[in-house]
Amino acid sequence: MGNTRRRRLDQKLPFHQRLLGGFQNSFGSPLANEARLSSKKDNGMSDLEAFINVLKCGFGTGCLAMPYAFLNSGWLVGLICTFALGFFVLYAMHILLHHINNLGVQHNMPMISYRKAVELSIRKGPSMFHYLSKPFGYLVDVLLCVYHFGVDCVYVVFIAKSLKHLGDMYLWVWDERLYMALIASPLILTFLIRDLKSLVPFAIISNFLLITGYFVILNYLFRDLPEFEHLHAIQPLRNFPIFFGTVLFSIESVGILSLGRSMRNPKNLMGTWGVLNQGMIVVISFYAIFGFFGYWRYGENTSNSILQNMPQNDFFPKFATGMFALAIFFSYALQGYVTVDIIWRNYLEPELEDRYLQSVEFLLRIALVIASVLVAIQYPDFGLLLSFVGSFCLAQLGLILPGIVDICLRYEEDYGPGRIFLIRSMLFICMGLAGGVAGTVVTLQTLYARYPVVRR
């Protein structure tokens, strides 16, 4: 059995598995483990494949909400802050990746998850905080689970709204919550697929549909642009937290963290002109341009999803809506796989007897789908849910925790001249706290005001 497994791992992985394995690598999925366990360098991704992976991690449904983000910030503030926040997050990602790589070398570990990196970092920090290493490790797991579960909730809302849009024109006028209930069963069927490699075709189809859909939208964004003078350059500060959460959701991707370990030449990921910078510059620039022109095209009428602003009677917008709905449907199980993987492998599987494993895992998967549908039914707002997930989860995963890791690992060394590295890390933490708390509070207040749990 062992020889068979070694022979299988020594075989060169197909192109699509290397791409998907790189994306899932930081979450410890079986396919990612298979991709990294092989000792042969030719099994790794080329720089081009890694670049495609960075783009794939960066692009998603968050882009559809970027014009709405610009509506809340103003076009001038939106342009400046999209690039500023994007490059700030990219800088934090570089620092975190640097420390993860160093920890791997120091502890002779070929693969270190985000959780393990945080735990090891805190143990190297001030001794009075060593007892917090495990709680912070659990926090990383919670944030990753909440993030991917939140993405699935956003997906349910998006699919339901798209189906309602098409259904109102061709079938019956139904409440969008009814569509959410109807898609629960198909989502459960895809979510019961346990093998990540079986989800590869879903990822390929989803990517093709997303790319085609974006081309259709861009074709309409640049048509008949109205007078520019009517746009607001700066919006009230109270709206900025929604912009902050939306941009974080759109740009930040924790799936990139261990991408270098799936590459043939890992050193090419980092650096000024490395693969990570090249890919993220493309992603950030596209999001800024998309948000700017989307806001310019529709102004104060910009919806929280740009698809809702497309012409109602044209064929191609309807076609794009259907493609996006189908693409997100195929992406649902991939996002949820991470949540199941963390809950199941880290917490449930070790505590159960073998005879109960399969049944409990299926119940967990079904429960997660039902829970995501119920959350979407209660809060059917694509833009606000998206902003909440970005503010609550990604402010911590993308800014606060990288700052804490950097402070702890430099504790026994030197914080540089004038303690510049300490100041830098505190800036990460303060920005994450300010934006994350403000964004979380504002979105929760708005969600509760629009969709109160108890209606009077």
CA angle 390, 248, 309 (to 5 degrees): 85
Residue 375 pLDDT: 93
Residue 33 pLDDT: 36
Point out the least confidently predicted range of 40-44, 302-306, 399-403.
40-44
Query: Is 269 within a domain?
Result: yes
Other Cβ atoms within 10 Å of 281 Cβ, number: 15
Residue 17 pLDDT: 44
Residue 37 pLDDT: 36
Query: Is 19 within a domain?
Result: no
C-alpha separations of 154 from 93, 239, 302, 374, 390 in Å: 24, 20, 19, 12, 11
The count of structural domains within the chain is 1
**137, 118 in Cβ contact below 8 A?**
yes
Residue 401 pLDDT: 94
Asked whether the predicted pLDDT for residue 366 surpasses 80, the reply is yes
Residue 15 pLDDT: 43
Query: Is 90 within a domain?
Result: yes
Query: Is 398 within a domain?
Result: yes
Query: Is 33 within a domain?
Result: no
Range of the domain at 250: 43-449
Query: Is 130 within a domain?
Result: yes
DSSP 200-215: HHHHHHHHHHHHHHHH
Query: Is 20 within a domain?
Result: no
Point out the least confidently predicted range of 238-247, 359-368, 413-422.
413-422
Residue 260 belongs to domain with CATH number:
1.20.1740.10
CA angle 323, 325, 327 (to 5 degrees): 65
Highest mean pLDDT out of 28-32, 264-268, 270-274, 359-363: 359-363
Q: What average pLDDT does the segment 182-210 reach?
A: 82
Q: Average model confidence (pLDDT) for the chain?
A: 82
Q: What average pLDDT does the segment 168-192 reach?
A: 88
What is the pTM (predicted TM-score) of this model?
Answer: 0.83
pLDDT tens profile 124-143 = 988 899 999 999 999 999 99
Query: Is 28 within a domain?
Result: no
Outline where 11-132 has alpha helix (H). Answer: 15-24, 30-37, 47-58, 66-73, 75-106, 114-123
Asked whether the predicted pLDDT for residue 169 surpasses 90, the reply is no
Contacts of 369 (CB under 8 A, 6+ apart): 152, 184, 187, 188, 191, 336
